[in-house]
Structure 1
Amino acid sequence: MRTPLITRPIQTVSPTPKRRQQQAFALPRFLKILLILGLLITLLVTAGWYWALAYVSDKLDLNPAEPPVLSTPPGTKIANWPAYHGAHPKDLIRPAESFPFPINWGQTGPAEALFAGPKQYPFMCQTLDSELGQPLVDNQLGYGTAVSDKSGNVVGYSQDCGMPTRLHYLGYRDGQFFRSDEQLPPAADNEELLIRAESGTINRFIYVLLMPTSHNDQRDQPDVSRWNGKAIYHFKGAIGIGFQQGQARFKRLLKDMRPALEQGYAVLYSTGTETDNHYNIWLQEDTAARVKQQFIARFGEPQYTIGMGDSGGGLQQYLISQNHPQVDNEQGKQQRIIDGGVAIIPYPDMVTQITYGLDCELLEYYFDHLSADRTFWQKAERRSWIEGLAYNTGFKPRLDILADIASVLRLEKPPVHQGATECSYSWRGSAQLVNNPRFNSHYPRYSEQVNRENFWTHWQDNRDFYGTDRFGRAEVPASNVGVQYGLNAWKKGDISAAQFLDLNAKVGSWKAQKDMQPEHYWLISGDDSLRKFSPYGEQNMSHNGQAEKPAARIPGSLAAAKGAYQSGNVFLGKLDIPLIDVRPYKDPVLDIHHSWAALSSRARILAFNQGKNPNQSIWISGAQYDARWDAFAAMVRWLDARAAGDVQENEMPEFASDRCLDDNGNLIARGDGVWDGTWNGKNEGVCTQQYPFFQSSRQAAGDHSTASVLFCHRVSVEEAIESGIYAPLDARPYRAQLEAIFPEGVCDYRKGDMAKSW
């Protein structure tokens, strides 16, 4: 019988020398757990970091599948080019069309502009982005983008991104978008909408024509039985600096324009008239006129064409109306590109918005890093007194998290913010995009050589108007020399004399283009170091990020500013077509499309027309309501009434008059005076009380409601004191300090703009 296990004698085994050594080095259990946890956390953080890098890179299109622009043809740089000083485009007769429209099927449209000057290079093809295939080969010299065969072998290069004219059919079935190239799809009971779409290239940009049709349509015999004879030119919007073709998004176009297409309207569109791609207003007009010529040659002339577009797409309607002459060509034929407009959240123009847009980071950096009273400036409301733009105490500045992380990595204390302004929330990044020749947010789409050799700014996109320096960099048509930031706040007593003087002594300006350095914008600027990230760009400010008293104010080019006016890049107030400026009121959420832009346009119209406003109507609704299609219906009614003789030229019908609407689209008030306020020296109207306006940093410094001054006239500090610029303050005790800060004098906005010659 075996002995039970529990009664067996316990045998002890002495550990071997090797085992004793292992026991001596054994870690306590809690340390093992800590090591395992540390390893897991390290793995998770590392994985999270690489996931974040991949996610951000994907969102920023930093790893595109399309081939980059490899090189550019000779002559892309032009040094010492003078700023434009010819006749204003409204006074120039456009040349007769030289291209034989319509473009034949399978052929490309014109690549050279009719009157807008030579082609810009580099030029990034986006036909693949648009799901239209590779561009056509136009050279074997390596210029532009490589074009490959099915085996991946390079067969040539495309510098002008041409595409053959093609036919497509688009529509919806059971609410789902469909697209059929070349072939008319079979009829289906669940079909909700069928659109004939034509695509191709004109002036190197992708154009699209949309026409409601039926299954009786044939390529060379379009079925226009569902067309109501009227058209929309869809301008879209956004901000771009040129050097790219732009992406034509068929699905997005159909979604945007579906309400109109279902009513029988045809739609015209081009990536060349989408400001997300460039802001050359001559090229935009040239392209729009040719797209319309293609439409007329294919389908016949529409009864009228209504412009529609958001932001820059509304801006174009103001400028095209101003710049495009009624006598269109050498034969004297009168033809407008658009006969009326629905401008959604527009600005009056681009260049006069950039002035205060560039002020934003100068001011934000001062508040956060240079001020002698930083605690005072932590509150967004107080910053708004200087910046003019709206504020919200519940918001944080954009990119604040990245900026805080970067500060910690530099062992610095992050700035404290109590809310955000439109400057720090919506305009952040615009200074880099618009003003830095060494910053290109699309840099992966160009070779290292092209990125290195080109200058990337909004100014460069318009060098034909602004001129270039001896290096080929475009000049800057604006200045902050003499600008007394926060003057109105000082006069009201919101800030002290010490705060006013400190601000203006330290704020500085942007450096000259030749002295600009690369941005520290992390991945979007090709900088791998998050530690160096800065949302301000202080290395490109005249003070180099250091407190200087006084910090230099470096002017742009007065000749370039004159070129901006003379070339039609500034909206003067000339508006020859009916236009409804329509926008939801989103100032409290710091939307970049602030409501006072409508008043800036109105003030210019009144100044140009001796106090009369025959054609512009302002519609502002609650933030939750989009009144664009209400405004479109009113514009249709307006143009129909004019055609019938019921409404005369330069007559504002009551059904289209100024108004404000609530969040449900219900009318609050309408008619003359509803938008009155301090901007025109009158008591606030009903709509102004409902949706109050803010202003720009230049208006907060004394500019008037037109907000259009690029180069202010300056007077000496002594003359400013004597003439009442500081009234009701007595600025005499501060004369010496003011003269030290403003040795070249201060702005006298009563004298207008030095750049404006009429």
Structure 2
Amino acid sequence: MAALGLAAGACTTSADAGNEGQAAATGGAAASGPTSQPPEHLEAEVLSSRAEDVTGGDTVVQVRLPAGLAADAVTVTADATGEAFPVEVDRTGRHVARVSGLPDGSSTITAVAGDGDRATVEVTNHPTTGPLFSGPHLPMPVCSTDLYGLGEPLDEDCSATTSIRWKYLSTDGELKPLDDPSTLPTDVETIGETKLPFIVRQETGTLNRGIYWITVLDPMPDPTSQQWDPSAWNGRLIYEFGGGCGTSYSQGFKMLGDPSTELLERGYAFATSTLNTFQVACNDVLSAESVSMVKERFAEGYDTPAFTIGSGGSGGAIQQYLIAQNYPGLLDAISPALPFPDAISISGGVVDCALLGDYYATPDGAALSEEQRTAINGHLTTDTCGMWDATFAPIVDPSGPCTIPGLSAAGPLIGGLPDGGFPLLPRDEVYDAETNPDGLRCTLQDSNVNLIGTDPETGFARRPWDNVGVEYGLGALRDGVIDLDTFLALNEGIGSYDIDGNHVAERAEADEDTIRTAYATGRVTDGSGDLRRIPIISVNVWTDDQGDIHDRFRAFSMRERLRNPDGSNPPNHMIWTRGLPDGSNLVQSLSGSLDVGSEAITVLDTWLTALDADTSGDPIEVRLERTRPDEAIDNCITADGER
């Protein structure tokens, strides 16, 4: 592999905002455009989800009223039930109707005014177990409901009864369980200047077969009615994404600790699902589908957020990028940390590290010096490939353990994992070419079989990876670190892995249909969708010298994909480089659970607020640049605070 020129850790300069980006608006708040005037006639649209992605028989419909028409003069009905639903005013001043009782399938919701004016919207309702758009359910023989306090699963889809529990922030700074929310503890902390009690409500349930969490301040809880007190909410939702990249065939786990008490105190709500942890299922479409369902639940049970800001690192960054690209409107801004652009395009380099590790175990490879191996690998140290080889590279083996042993051993360092550690697929259900050829295959491509299809020759998921034509060690040869004979021996002996993960002498070659499908279905980030239309602050933590897999050039590979056609930097994408926070470690980096602080969320919120208030009607790239806060620039701050 050629040496990577951006591994030196130098800081970059502020964005050169070009004006060649896309100008089309989307459903995302950040690109909503000018504030609309009252319509001439009634209008209706689904607010809680896309109209075709309603779940559970409930939906929130916004009714836009002509000037002079009172809300109580409008009746909203659903053809499937004939029931009438009142039009109410939500906290942002929108007129909404909360429709319930919809059957699975298509329904027509109609808003009618007394003068006969009407508006209709067609909706499609689905079961809360899904799927919506991710394709047929993959097997899920392992449920996690009991591990997260929801009891034994109610059905084969791992469903559970929804639970609402409360916690409180004590004066010693610890979140503690609050068994009786009707009685305030004597050591309860208060919320800022409001002096309201710092009580946190956490709803846990199942949607899309995953376990979800919604966490929000609830300063005056009512355990009898379970009605939420929204007085401390700032109208924003932070959607969290967990790291990794796995194929667990389980309901999963989360690799995220409790939400930030600092951000809770400032009024932010939080949401996530086990299927938003990439180590559970390295499938961004399944993750997007879960975001849609959980956000719908939040809109229906709490309120519709003004903005939804994505947060999370490593595999959590991949999800944010791909969801913003492929499902505009789900996320209004994103803060990908420890950023990788996507799973598919980086997988070749991951497998290369495994192949090189195998080669270094041969007599020719063992004769190479540390300097030569470092130059061949193309990283700052050989430990980077070593970490890839020990963690995610084994995902090429379909008979592997379906988890990362190192992460399991480091469970206490990863917030959010249940006491029992990672839920594991029973060994007798895992594929084995000889003893269990019909077993479950734990590879990246098998997690995405609905998206990339199956190989008609093998019946297995297509594999979008090859290494035909790769000249391993070319950079090292050009730099004079290895000679031509060493270069030729390396490339003759490197080989590849077959579909069962066996090391073979031949190079691997993916067919064109597989590669074309990976691009056509959006599995590779290309700067489309909302990626040029929403604020993005990517937080890169400098750990290259420690052998971290999150090497620095990844942030810049994303920058290259987002560049304007004239070569200038996009106005919406900032790269922040930080030192490894005190008390942090590479396990947290590896799992994507590293705490990079709240500054990016603060700046993104400021940016979104200004963008939403910009009613100029100018192209989105112009508005993004004009409303960009002073803090939203490329910058670099060391672990010691030096800028």
* Same fold? TM cut 0.5: yes
CA deviation after TM superposition for structure 1 residue 186, in Å: 2.0
Separation in 1, partners of 2:373, 2:624? 41
Aligned position for 2:551? 594
1:290 and 2:287 are equivalent in the alignment: no
1:648/1:637 CA distance change after superposition, 3 Å: farther
* Partner residue of 1:101 out of 49, 55, 58: 58
C-alpha distance in structure 2 between counterparts of 1:610 and 1:583, whole Å: 22
Judged with a 3 Å threshold, the aligned counterparts in structure 2 of structure 1 residues 481 and 493 are, in CA distance, closer, same or farther, namely: same
- Cα gap change, 1:505 to 1:292, in 2 (>3 Å): same
2:291 maps to amino acid: A
Q: Does 1:456 align with 2:434?
A: no
Equivalent residues in 2 for 1:327-726, closer than 5 Å: 336-371=329-364, 374-375=366-367, 377-379=368-370, 381-391=371-381, 420-432=382-394, 434-441=395-402, 445-446=425-426, 448-449=428-429, 452=436, 453-469=439-455, 470-513=457-500, 516=501, 540-543=502-505, 552-574=506-528, 575=531, 576-606=533-563, 611-624=568-581, 627-645=596-614, 649-651=623-625, 652-667=628-643
| Alpha-carbon offset, residue 490 of structure 1 | 1.5
Check 1:122–1:618 CA distance in 2 against 1; reply closer, same or farther (3 A cut).
Answer: same
Q: Report the alpha carbon displacement of residue 618 of structure 1 after superposing the two structures with TM.
A: 0.2
**What is the CA-CA distance between 1:622 and the residue it aligns to?**
2.1
The answer to whether the Cα contact below 8 Å between 1:116 and 1:282 also exists between their aligned partners in 2 is yes
Deviation at 1:612, TM superposition (A): 4.1
Equivalent residue, structure 2, for 1:314: 317
TM-score by length of 2: 0.69
Partners of 1:438 and 1:112 in 2: how far apart?
Answer: 28
Partner residue, 1:177: 175
Amino acid at match of 2:639: D
Question: Deviations 1:667-699 (Å, cap 9, x if unpaired)?
Answer: 2xxxxxxxxxxxxxxxxxxxxxxxxxxxxxxxx
| Cα distance in 1, alignment partners of residues 318 and 430 from structure 2 | 31
Instruction: Tell me the residue number matched to 1:225.
Output: 231
RMSD of aligned alpha carbons = 2.7
Which is greater in Rg?
1
Q: Is the 8 A contact 1:94 1:115 kept in 2?
A: no
Aligned AA (1:361): A
Partners of 1:617 and 1:302 lie apart in 2 by 24
Deviations 1:404-433 (A, max 9, x none): xxxxxxxxxxxxxxxx4201134424222x
Counterpart-to-counterpart distance in 1, 2:467 and 2:556: 23
Kept after mapping to 1: 8 A contact 2:564/2:570: no
- In structure 1, the residue matched to 2:89 is none
Aligned twin of 1:701: none
Q: Distance in 2 between matches of 1:185 and 1:161?
A: 32
Change (3 A) 1:447 1:385: closer
Query: C-alpha distance in 2, partners of 1:257/1:633?
Result: 13
- Summarize the Cα distance change of 1:286–1:259 in structure 2 as closer, same or farther, 3 Å threshold: same
Which of these residues, 233, 239, 243, is aligned with residue 249 of structure 2?
A: 243
8 Å Cα contact 1:112-1:118 kept in structure 2: no
Does the Cα contact within 8 Å between 1:210 and 1:268 map onto a contact in 2? Answer: yes
Q: Which moved more, 1:122-131 or 1:270-279?
A: 122-131
Aligned residues: 474
For 2:169 and 2:283, the matched residues in 1 are separated by 35
Aligned residue for 1:580, secondary structure, equals strand
Alpha carbons 1:109, 1:202 under 8 Å: kept: no
Could you tell me which amino acid in structure 1 is paired with residue 340 of structure 2?
Y
TM-fit CA distance, 1:629: 1.5
8 Å contact 2:212–2:272 — kept in the other structure? yes
- Residues 666 and 631 (structure 1 numbering): CA distance in 2 closer, same or farther, change over 3 Å? farther
For 1:303, the equivalent position in structure 2 comes to 306
Identity of aligned residues (%): 31
Instruction: Tell me how far apart the structure 1 counterparts of residues 163 and 622 of structure 2 sit (CA, whole Å).
Output: 41
The correspondence for 1:125, drawn from 131, 143, 147, is 143
8 A contact 1:366–1:503 mirrored in 2: yes
Secondary structure of the 1:581 match is: strand
Distance 1:644 1:444, change over 3 A: closer
Which residue in 1 is equivalent to 2:9?
none
- Sort the Cα spacing of 1:291 and 1:109 in 2 relative to 1 into closer, same or farther, 3 A: farther
Q: Give the residue type in structure 2 aligned to 1:435.
A: V
Q: Whole-Å Cα distance in 1 between the matches of residues 556 and 245 of structure 2?
A: 21
Shift of 1:370: 4.0
Note closer, same or farther for the CA distance 1:114–1:512 as it changes in structure 2 (3 Å cut).
closer
Secondary structure (helix, strand or coil) at the match of 2:366 reads coil
Which range moved further: 225-234 or 601-610?
A: 601-610
Distance in 2, matches of 1:314 and 1:184, equals 36
8 Å contact from structure 2 (residues 248, 425) kept in 1: no
8 Å CA contact 1:477, 1:558 repeated in 2: no
Mapped partners of 1:390, 1:355: distance in 2: 19
1:512 and 1:554 in contact (8 A); partners too? no
Distance 1:554 1:99 in 2: 45
Q: Is the counterpart of residue 110 in structure 1 residue 110 in structure 2?
A: no
Alignment CA distance shift 1:185-1:609 (3 Å): farther
* Counterpart contact for 1:122–1:450, Cα < 8 Å: no
CA gap 1:175/1:459 in 2 versus in 1, 3 angstroms: same
Segments of structure 2 that go 5 or more residues without pairing to the other structure are: 1-25, 28-49, 60-98, 101-125, 190-197, 404-422, 583-594, 616-620
1: CA distance, partners of 2:538 / 2:326: 18
Contact kept, 8 Å, 1:240 with 1:279, in 2: the verdict is yes
Question: Which structure has the higher relative contact order (CA within 8 Å, separation 6+)?
Answer: 2
Deviation at 1:447, TM superposition (A): 6.0
Offset from partner CA, 1:365-423 (integer Å, 9 cap, x none): 2123141x633x231x32121111220xxxxxxxxxxxxxxxxxxxxxxxxxxxx4201
1:259 is matched with 262
- 1:200-211 matches, cutoff 5 A: 200-211=205-216
Identify if the C-alpha distance between structure 1 residues 178 and 503 changes in structure 2 by more than 3 Å, giving closer, same or farther: same
Partner Cα distance (2:497, 2:392) in 1: 13
* Cα deviations by residue, 1:335-390 (Å, 9 ceiling, x for unpaired): x211111111120001111110001121122123141x633x231x3212111122
Q: Could you list the runs of 5+ residues in structure 1 that have no partner in the other structure?
A: 1-88, 139-158, 326-335, 392-419, 517-539, 544-551, 668-758
Q: From the superposition, tell whether residues 350 and 609 of structure 1 become closer, same or farther in structure 2 (CA, over 3 Å).
A: farther
Do the aligned residues in 2 keep the contact of 1:390 with 1:588 (CA within 8 Å)? yes
In the alignment, the residues of structure 2 paired with residue 348 and residue 188 of structure 1 have an alpha-carbon distance, to the nearest angstrom, of: 46
CA contact (8 A) 2:166 2:200 kept: yes
Give 1:282 shift: 1.4
Cα drift, residue 449 of structure 1: 4.6
Give the partner amino acid of 1:359.
Answer: D
Q: Matches of 1:171 and 1:566 in 2, distance apart?
A: 47
Shift of 1:239: 2.2
Code of the residue aligned with 1:111 in structure 2: it is: T
- 2:202 corresponds to 1:197: yes
